[in-house]
Amino acid sequence: MQIEWQIGPPSDWQTDAIIFFVFEKSPEPLPGLKRWMAEEGIWLSRSAALGDFKGKHQQTAVFYGPEDKRIARVVCVGLGQADKFDVEKLRSATAAALRECRDLQLSRPALPLSAFEGLQIEIAPALEEALIAGMLGLYRYEGLKTRDLEPSTFPETLLILHDKEPDEALRNVILDADAIASGVSFARDLVAAPPNVSTPSFLAGAARRLADRYGFRLDVLDLEKARAMGMGAFAAVAQGSREPAYFLVLEHAPPGTEQDHPLVLVGKGITFDTGGISLKPGEKMDAMKHDMAGAGAVLGTFDVLGRMKIKRRVVGLMPCTENMPDGKAYKPADVIRSLSGLTIEVISTDAEGRMVLCDALAYASRRYQPAMIVDIATLTGACVVALGRSVAAVMGNRDDLTQKVQEIGMRVGEKLWPLPLWDFYFENIKSDVADFKNVGERAAGTIIGGIFLKQFVPEEIPWVHLDIAGTAWTDKDLGFAPKGATGFGVRIFTEMVRRLPEL
């Protein structure tokens, strides 16, 4: 869907439908709708049907005007009760309205800036959030379907209506919203693709296309090169698969930033996780195709960086492999030497995510002088037990940084909740034969994953760990995140890059 401005007085607006927001049980319409009805839509103000519309959250109603009007339809969408309104309500309401337009097969619906008046949110951020959510709410992964296809080309264009020329800031809002929605959709495509398609080679190809399109630097390290460099933990996981494994290094360094300390994003790229020798139960194993959602989020973020041309140095590290139970697979009781030199006693080969991430964290610490490192991974089922499927866990070695990242997540609609990484948790992974084990007891499983990763980041480097095991995929429609891959993390990372000097 394209987004275009239509500038001029309301009497000149032409569109298939105009979208307005409505509060539940409100004594009168919001200012923008009220003014439009007084000037152009008297027919709607006189309609009994408008009074029947309740304005419940995400409820939509379509009102048809006289044939001689330039605007033949008004789509009203409910925001729920005014005293419970927040940005998340705006996001899901906009997504519902545009889906209604898709169902009606409307080519050019419109959203007037005046529709945001009275929402107690500044116009620019309200517009950005509404546009991102609206575009993401229309997302579908259907590239492999051959029949029973529903029309997905509608709407073709969303018009933003305004009675005067928008300033540069407002014009940039549309460009930024389009870039962010495209990056999230890109991540969703990677995660939603089946594991026989979305292999490590496929992710390497996606990284190559980004590098070619935007001028990023890309290094693709194959298994033998990674092993020769000392990435014993990554190699141990990868050696059980017949699919070639790759350690991807993607760098965005616009002119003038080449010597800056980079933000390093590390994404887990397990393209299918059987559990290895510690084989998972067969039920729902198909869900393990999205164990590479961390790498997907990093690649989606780089798509945003390329589109927005943000002048910050950012490095993305993605260890990509399958975890398979082959005869060469690593085993419980093996002791593995990691890139950092630390040795790891393998208790469970199903704790493979932390094994590939620990070498990536060590590589980031050695190869760069990072301003900070942030890793993202579908790391632990315990995170789903603790926080459910709508909230991800955040941990780190700086409480103030962890809090700032949590606040960013709340602002962009990707909820995070902090968990502690106190030193005594390390007692759970002490080993008799190595520096430590890769898992401990079942208790505090998400924290144990974090405390393991913490061993591979020097204390002087700010570090944050995001466990997105519950949020990378949704089994129900969330409005702006349809059933399937969510692209969780792209928005957090984009906002972190935008705000990097403040973090």
Judging by DSSP bridges, how do beta strands 372-377 and 343-345 pair with one another?
A: unpaired
Q: Output the pLDDT for position 68.
A: 76
Residues 70 and 17 sit within 8 Å (Cβ to Cβ) = no
Q: Output the pLDDT for position 149.
A: 73
> Residue 333's Cα: distance from chain center in Å?
36
Closest to 362 measured CA to CA, from 377, 337, 336, 340: 340
Distance separating the N- and C-terminal Cα atoms of the chain? 34
Closest to 298 measured CA to CA, from 401, 190, 423, 140: 190
456-483 pLDDT, tens per residue? 999 999 999 999 999 999 999 999 999 9
What are 143's two structure tokens? 């590239």
Bridge-partner residues for 222, per DSSP? Answer: 246
Give the start-to-end residue ranges of the domains of the chain.
2-163, 178-502
Amino acid residing at 139 = Y
Q: Output the pLDDT for position 143.
A: 79
Per-chain mean pLDDT for the chain: 96
Q: Count of CB atoms within 10 A of residue 413's CB?
A: 20
367-413 pLDDT, tens per residue? 999 999 999 999 999 999 999 999 999 999 999 999 999 999 999 99
- SS3 state at 13: coil
| pTM for this predicted structure | 0.97
Does the pLDDT of residue 30 top 80, yes or no?
A: yes
> Residue 105's Cα: distance from chain center in Å?
28
207-242 pLDDT, tens per residue? 999 999 999 999 999 999 999 999 999 999 999 999
Q: Output the pLDDT for position 142.
A: 83
Does the pLDDT of residue 501 top 90, yes or no?
A: no
Full DSSP string of 412-448: HT--EEE----GGGGGGG--SSSSEES---STTHHHH
Residues 252 and 362 sit within 8 Å (Cβ to Cβ) = no
Full DSSP string of 55-87: --TT-EEEEE--TTSSB-EEEEEE---GGG--H
Does the pLDDT of residue 152 top 80, yes or no?
A: no
Whole-number Å distance between alpha carbons of 264 and 276: 29
Q: What phi and psi values does residue 358 have, to the nearest 5 degrees? A: -65, -35
Whole-number Å distance between alpha carbons of 346 and 303: 36
Q: Average pLDDT of 103-120? A: 96
Percent of the chain with pLDDT over 90: 93
Q: Count of CB atoms within 10 A of residue 284's CB?
A: 8
Q: Which of 56, 280, 367, 498 is catalytic?
A: 280
Q: Average pLDDT of 137-165? A: 88
Of 106-110, 139-143, 272-276, the poorest mean pLDDT is in: 139-143
Q: Average pLDDT of 266-287? A: 97
Whole-number Å distance between alpha carbons of 332 and 353: 15
Whole-number Å distance between alpha carbons of 402 and 410: 12
Please give the helix or strand (H or E) that residue 251 lies within, else none. Answer: strand 246-252
Q: What is the CA radius of gyration of the chain?
A: 24
* Residue 69: band (very low, low, confident or very high) from pLDDT cuts 50, 70, 90: confident
> Residue 83's Cα: distance from chain center in Å?
29
Q: Output the pLDDT for position 151.
A: 63
Whole-number Å distance between alpha carbons of 349 and 467: 18
Give the domain 178-502 fold. Aminopeptidase (3.40.630)
Q: Which of 91, 108, 354, 454 is catalytic?
A: 354
Give the domain 2-163 fold. Leucine Aminopeptidase, subunit E; domain 1 (3.40.220)
Percent of the chain with pLDDT over 70: 100
Q: Output the pLDDT for position 491.
A: 98
Q: Output the pLDDT for position 436.
A: 98
Whole-number Å distance between alpha carbons of 296 and 298: 5
Which residue's structure tokens are 């229309």? 138
Active site residue 311: no
Does the pLDDT of residue 416 top 90, yes or no?
A: yes
Active site residue 280: yes
Bridge-partner residues for 249, per DSSP? Answer: 219, 317
* Residue 145: band (very low, low, confident or very high) from pLDDT cuts 50, 70, 90: confident
With 0-12 CB in 10 A as exposed, 13-18 as middle and 19+ as buried, what is 299? buried
